[in-house]
Structures are given as C-alpha cells and as structure tokens.
Structure 1
Amino acid sequence: MEIATREAGEGVLRMTVTIAADEMAERIRKAAIVVAFRSEIAPDPAIAPQEAVERKLGCDEAQARIAEQVMKDAVPFALTQERIDIVGSPTFVSAHQASAGKPFEFIMECVPVPRFELPSYAPVSITVPPARVAGDAVAERIAAIAEQHATWEADSEKRAVRAGDVVELSMETEKNGERVAGLCRKSNRYTVGSFAMPDAFDEAVEGMEAGQSREVVYEGPSFETDGAGNPIMEEYRSRITVKRILKKAVPAVSDSWVAATVPGCATVAELEARVRGSLEEEARSQQAKQVEFLSASELAKRFDARIPDTVYEAAMDEAKREFAAKLAEEDTTLEDFLAQGNVDEQQLTVSLMMQVREQLVHQFSLNALAEHYGLSVDDSDMEAFFESIAPGRAMQARLDFERSGRLFAAQRAALRLKANRRLAAEAIIDEFDGEGIG
C-alpha cells in the first residue's frame, strides 16, 4: 500500500492511498463477502461472492458497494502504516472502480488527534470510598452459592397447578397424525405461564393435579409465512401428564454440606474465609478502577486549551453515527427515543456535545501526560490494554485489532491506559468514611 500525505487545511489531513494490483483480487473477494452478508445474500459455493452480489444488486450498485467496502477495509491499515491517531472516522472516496489485477487509488481525509500541553503535571488529589467488604456481603455470597446447588422436589402442599408453578411433565405430541419428536418428553421441567408454549397449552395445564393426564389441542407457528409475512399457524395435539408439582429446595449450609460440595473447604468457617478473601480482592479491584477514573477526571480539570472546530465536528459526527446505530440496533426511532426521555432534539444535541467534550478532554489530557512522562508501550502494556477491554479474552481481542488494521489505535489507547495507571499510582488518595466498595 502506497500513501501520499499532505495537509488539507484547518487540521485536516488528506491521504492518497494506492493499493497494489496484485492485492485487489483478494480485497474484492473479502469486500464482496461483507456486502453479500449485509444484503442478506445466502452463500452459494457454486457462485463467487462478487457474482452473487452483482446478480442481486445489479452491476453498478454492486461495484459501488464493493469499492466502498474495499476502501473502508483499507482505511485502518493506512492509518496504522502512517502511525496516525485520528478523531472520529475518516471520509474516503474514489473516482475508479475496484478491479482485480489493477491498482486501486482512493483519497481519504481525516482529523489527526492534536497535541496539547497541560498547565501542571503534579499528582492529583482524589477521595474514594475504602475497599472493604460490607457486613452482609459474605452471607449473601454464600447464600447465592447454596442457591446454585438447589434441587427440585415434590411440593406436597399444592394440590392443583397455578400460573407460575414449576411442574414436571411428560408429553407426547402429534401434528397431522405424525409424532413431533421435539415436543415429546418423558420428563420435562416446565414453568407454567413462561411463554415457552402457547397460551392454550398453559391454560390446559393450569388446574391439573399431580398424576393427572389431559389432551390439549393448540396452535403454533410454522416456518412458513403468508402473503403478509406472518407465520402460518399449525395445529398440534399433545397428551400431557403432570408427574409432580415442584418446589425449589435450597440446601442448608453446614460443615458436612460444605465438605461434600465445595472443593478445598471442609467447614463453613473455611468457606466464609475464602468468600471474604474473594470479596476483598473484588473490592480492591473496584477501588483501583475508581481511582483510575477519578484521577483521569481530576487531571482533565486542568485542560484549559481551545479545541479546534474541526476536531469537535469530527467527534460529533462519529457520536451521532454511533447513536443512530444504537437506535437501529434497538429498533427505536429518534422520535420514540425523544418521547421516552421527554427531551427535544436540541437537548439531545447539547447532551451529546457535553459527552463528546468530556471524552476528548480526557483523551487529550492523558496523551499530554504520557508525553510528559516520556512513556512508550511494550507487549505487557498491550496485554494490559486488551485485558481491560476484553477480560479473559485479551488474545482474541488483540487478534481482532490486528486483523482489522487497528493496531496503532490500540497502541495509542494502551499508552493512555499506562499514563492513567501511573497517574493513579502517584495520586494523593483520601478514603472517606463510608460504606466502602464491595
């Protein structure tokens, strides 16, 4: 990938990116797969992804979307290659089609993260609650452990099934005279009224007694739809037997139960000590995170520079895109969101602007601190960053960043995390007398 970079004025960087001809076939193939997925085109081993997209969308639309995806995929790699950290998302455009065996050129514009100085880099002073375990936390955790080992037994006090009861059922089901294996059970624990089965089924179970059998006919959706797109309903016939009405039996926490259930513990006292130690470790971890957050927030109060308009605009554009994507994911319109929050669009914009400014100031302040400390990142710092964003899945997170070309962005984020943790380590901390963390 060849890149030519020049200033485009007002803090904007223009990059002309050229992808080599021998790379284009594979890039087009990968881009076509993404376009096909987003266009809900089912994969067909007999048809190349690009051809499948062209058949569905038409040649012109398919080529435009594939070229856009090629550019989108290449952008983070270009930024990593040039080691450019940006605000928001870049814009990109090409006057050419993406063709296999031919070089592909496009132009992207972005807003690099500006450099700032802080008036002071002295240690910050913060106040946090103590890292101690609340008085009833140990008992609550042990009760939760016992709950996890609860069993189900017959409830002799109940004669008839009511909505919300848990029952043990056996059932044999037919549809059009044929047995439906997925709805046949010799023994199945079922909560009445849980919407796992149609209402008619639950209505038939209600009022039954242990040992009683009943036949019920009900409708359920098939995999086919009618002309309006609604599922076609089919008739099922089930022979059900209520074997038992159940109740949950939570074991009593005793020395014998602990010895038989909890590896490494022989008594209740030993379990309490282990749980207390675990809770104390959790409390210290939570306090450390709070110290990091409060330290960064206190440092940000020292930021007194003017943020350029282009930086704000890039960050706001990104915030609006993310907000729109969130609404789409939740299947909510902007109008519905505003009505639910009892706010108007102007208030929402002001709220987004405040959030964007806070995020930018935190980022710029930690960048300045990292530069002041003269920090750099190594593999251990990268591992710490990936573990912070994906606990227990740091290796997979790193692979995701590497495969998508966002490694330089990760390095910059790791640098800010390192600066933040050093800031927290040097902070002047006062623990106020409160409930504590944990």
Structure 2
Amino acid sequence: MKSAVENLTPTRAKLTVEVPFEELKPSLDAAYKKIAQQINVPGFRRGKVPPAVIDRQVGRGVVLDEAINEVVPAKYMEALQENELEPLAQPEIEVTKFEDNDGLEFTAEVDVKPQFELPSYEGIEAEVEDVEVSDADVDEQVQALRERFGTLTEVEREAADGDFVTIDLTAAKEGEAVEGGEVSGMSYKVGRGGMLDGLDEALLGMKADEEKTFSSQLVGGDLVGEDVDVTVKVTGVQEQQLPEVDDEFAQMASEFDTADELTADVRERLGRGKRLEQAAAARDAVLEALLEKVSIPLPETMVTDELNARRENVEQQLVYSGLTMEKYLEDEGQTAEEFEADLDRRVRDAIAAQFILDAIAKKEELGVDQQDLSSHLVRRAQQSGQDPQEFANHMFEHNHIPELVQEILRGKALAAIVETATVKDASGNVVELKNLQPDGTIGEPAPAVDEATDAPEASEDSEDSEESAPA
C-alpha cells in the first residue's frame, strides 16, 4: 500500500491511498466465504459454494464490493498511522479507481488535530482575586440559619416585605382564562422574587381576602413570554419570627455551645468555600495564560458543532427556567450579537485548551489507571444526579470510555501545569494550590523523599523525637 497526504488546511487533510490487487486477495477470500454462507446453490452445501459458482450466481461485482467495504476502512486506518494523523471526525471517502485484477485507489478527507509548537508551560504566572469573607457574607449565612428555625404567626395587617402570604393566582388573556394558569393555596414570601414580574409589588399592602390584578408575562406553558392579566387573592398573612442569635440558638441550631463559636464556624466554612472558588479561578487563569502563549488553528466544523451544542443547551435551560432568550439577554445586559461573540470566544478557547492539554498529556506520558476511571465515573454520575453503576453501564455500552479517559488525562495535564505555576492574589500573596484539600482546607506538605533511599528525609531533631515519643 502507498499513501500520500495533502494538507488542505491546517486542520483538514486529504489522504490518497493506493492498494495493489495482491493486498485485496485476503478480503476477496473473506467475501467469497461470507457470501457462500448466505446463498443456497443446488448440489453444494451451504458455505462450500466455489468462487466460480458464486461469480455466476451473484456476480463478481458483488464480491468485489464486499471486499472493498472491508479493505477500505482498514487501509484508511493504516494510512492515518503511517502519516501520523489524528482524526477528529468521520472521513469523507471516495473510491477514485478500481478495476478487477488491478489496484484500488481511494481518497479520504478528514478533519485532523492541528500541528503546533507546544509552548513552555512551567512556572506560568497568573493572578486571581483575594479570598475575602466579609461580615455581610457571615450575616447572610447566619440569617439563613435563623430562617430555618423561624416560626410563622398569623397577623391581621397589610402584607409587608418578608412576610409569608397564602395566595391564589389566576391568569387570563383577553378575558379568557389561561389553561394551566391557576394556582391555589400557595405559600409565598413577599420580596423573594423569581416567580412573576409584578407579583411582589402587587402583594405589598394587601390584606387577607383582598384581590388585585396586574399585568405580567407567563414563564411557562404555550403563552410563555406573552402579556397576561394576573389576579392575585391573599387568603392569609403570616409574620416570620426569627430567633435571636445567642448561645441558646447556637445550641439549638448547631453542635456549638456559644454564638461566637457558631459565627466563627460559619466564617471558617465560607472561607473554605471561597478558597475552592479561588482555586478554580486559578486553574482557569493559568490555562488562559498558557493559551495566550500559542496560536492554534481550529477545525471550523468542530467549532460549529460545539457552538450549536452549547447554544441548544442554553436554550433548553431557559425553557426549564421558564425564560425566553430575550428575557435572558435583558437580565444579562447583553445584545444577541454580544452573546454570540462571547459564546464563540468561549468555544474556541475550550477547543484550543483541549488540544494543548492533549499535547501536554502526551509529552508527559500521563496515564489513566482503573482507580482514576472509577473515581471519574462516580464524580460524573454525581454531577448528573445518576446512579454510579447505571451511569458506568451506559458509558461502557455506548463506548464513551475513551472520551472519559481523555477527560481524565486533560485534568491531570492541567493539574501538572497548575502545580508548577505561580499564582498570586490581588494583594500579592502566593495562592496555595498544591496542598489544597477537597474540603477547602490546606493540608500538610508531603514529606520530602531522599532520592537515594526513596525514604522520607529525617529532620535534624528526628532522633530526639524518637527518644521522647511514647512507647
């Protein structure tokens, strides 16, 4: 077999493959055997029909087609390896020449991984925001805890911000009730928002048994996004009584004895969460700094497919949330053109990051073992809210394991880059990433290893420590 490659673009190649007729003979023999098992010819047992008889019964052309269908994929893969090409999609194959007892020639056009020079990725510098837990952050968390232990008391007064009201809602369009636009006996906190535009404003000042009609837009159903008249009736007003933040509350709401201990724990937990957020931002900043060092040509087909997939995902999420694209853009303060430009940028950065992380994983000879795969499967299952075993079975049955392996390798490559990076916060402090634990705490550094003995190096006072240690 001979093959030649023509680079149509930096990310698309055309292979021309020539296969001598001699290399087709194994596939021809296999085709005759396969067809012999499929036909009945008087005087011959199934599977024992001679090739000459098959040629007369079904035609030599059928056999040749069967052989070509078998040999072309195999020779295509062989040509890829010979020319060190990594395909990104299914090829467009065309048989350009074939004659019986002569050679076969075909071409294959396919998107391939781009070639680029891997930049230096050790010691990358990046900056992230400070980890800061404000008193307001703590107060917000303590307030949420107070509300969990709050009590509701019926009151005979106008509804105020923060009160809980029991309401009935009906929606009408041009005087006709909207199907499915009725809610009865629903409890709602005034000022919470997130339901119907205008609802909170309408409820303020209403008493039990009062009604009010206001204009709004439905967030679901066939009339989503359309103007309707909504009538709200208040059937009860309740005031929320919150416990004081004192030692008694701390003992009731937590394992702590004092309010100071409870507040300190809230601050510590918020700090751990913000530390994890900072670490995620650090990874993004390091990767962004690395991407700025290299220009990678991207396959436009791949970009288009990913753009369509992400756009569809956004649209589905908006449907689930009861929002229109217009309302989403309004809330985000974006125009449609700005949204598309931002989406395009993020998609291109994500694809470029995949290529560069793949290259680093290959250069560093990173591997994936069974424990890596099992942990990744469990984590992915948890993220999607699925049973880990069912998720794993689905991944194996649909041959998605290679994709998961690539995800793990990319994660390892990024971790390797981040560990050697110097990341500082806005105040100039070095951000600890290497010893950051999954719960947001900072672990102890791993003991240094003496390369000569592969044992942890002893400290100068190790002998004294051993002598003073309890038996």
Please state whether the residue corresponding to 1:245 is helix, strand or coil.
Answer: strand
2:118 maps to 118
Please state whether the residue corresponding to 2:152 is helix, strand or coil.
Answer: strand
Alignment of 1:28-427 (within 5 A): 87=88, 90=90, 111-114=111-114, 116-155=116-155, 158=157, 166-167=164-165, 189=187, 242=235, 244-262=236-254, 264-304=255-295, 307=297, 311-322=298-309, 325-326=312-313, 329=316, 330=318, 341-342=334-335, 354-382=345-373, 385=376, 395=388, 398-427=392-421
- Confirm or deny: 8 A CA contact 1:130 1:436 kept in the other structure: no
Aligned-residue RMSD, C-alpha = 5.5
Deviations 1:340-388 (A, max 9, x none): 95466xx887666544432232112111211222111223433564576
Please state whether the residue corresponding to 1:369 is helix, strand or coil.
Answer: helix
- Confirm or deny: 8 A CA contact 1:127 1:430 kept in the other structure: yes
CA separation in 1, counterparts of 2:234 and 2:132?
52
Please state whether the residue corresponding to 1:248 is helix, strand or coil.
Answer: strand
Deviations 1:2-40 (A, max 9, x none): xxxx989754699xxxxxxxxxxxxxxxxxxxxxxxxxx
CA separation in 1, counterparts of 2:143 and 2:190?
26
For structure 2, the residue ranges without an aligned partner over 5 or more in a row are 16-76, 94-107, 169-181, 212-221, 223-232, 432-439, 441-471
Deviations 1:216-251 (A, max 9, x none): xxxxxxxxx9xxxxxxxxxxxxxx995x53112222
Greater Rg over alpha carbons, structure: 2
- Confirm or deny: 8 A CA contact 1:129 1:436 kept in the other structure: no
- Confirm or deny: 8 A CA contact 2:247 2:257 kept in the other structure: yes
2:44 maps to none
Please state whether the residue corresponding to 1:251 is helix, strand or coil.
Answer: coil
- Confirm or deny: 8 A CA contact 2:162 2:190 kept in the other structure: yes
Please state whether the residue corresponding to 1:252 is helix, strand or coil.
Answer: coil
Please state whether the residue corresponding to 1:122 is helix, strand or coil.
Answer: coil
* Cα gap change, 1:167 to 1:320, in 2 (>3 Å): closer
Please state whether the residue corresponding to 1:126 is helix, strand or coil.
Answer: strand
- Confirm or deny: 8 A CA contact 2:163 2:190 kept in the other structure: yes
CA separation in 2, counterparts of 1:254 and 1:161?
29
2:56 maps to none
CA separation in 2, counterparts of 1:269 and 1:163?
29
CA separation in 1, counterparts of 2:188 and 2:352?
53
- Confirm or deny: 8 A CA contact 2:250 2:257 kept in the other structure: yes
Structure 1 residue 195 displacement after superposition? 12
Structure 1 residue 411 displacement after superposition? 0.7
TM-score by length of 1: 0.53
Deviations 1:77-104 (A, max 9, x none): xx9xx999864x65899xxxxxxxxxxx
CA separation in 2, counterparts of 1:118 and 1:303?
7
CA separation in 2, counterparts of 1:122 and 1:85?
26
1:430 maps to 424
Letter in 1 for 2:300: E
CA separation in 1, counterparts of 2:278 and 2:414?
14
* Cα gap change, 1:288 to 1:196, in 2 (>3 Å): closer
Q: Which has the higher contact order (CA 8 A, sep 6+)?
A: 1
CA separation in 2, counterparts of 1:417 and 1:261?
39
Structure 1 residue 118 displacement after superposition? 0.8
For structure 1, the residue ranges without an aligned partner over 5 or more in a row are 1-5, 15-78, 94-107, 171-181, 215-224, 226-239
* Cα gap change, 1:287 to 1:138, in 2 (>3 Å): same
* Cα gap change, 1:142 to 1:417, in 2 (>3 Å): same
Please state whether the residue corresponding to 2:415 is helix, strand or coil.
Answer: helix
Deviations 1:170-197 (A, max 9, x none): 9xxxxxxxxxxx9998xx7467999999
CA separation in 1, counterparts of 2:277 and 2:190?
40
* Count of residue correspondences: 309
- Confirm or deny: 8 A CA contact 2:307 2:344 kept in the other structure: no
TM-score by length of 2: 0.49
Letter in 2 for 1:151: T
- Confirm or deny: 8 A CA contact 2:91 2:111 kept in the other structure: no
Deviations 1:79-136 (A, max 9, x none): 9xx999864x65899xxxxxxxxxxxxxx98634446441324321122234343344
CA separation in 1, counterparts of 2:430 and 2:143?
21
Identity across matched positions, percent: 20
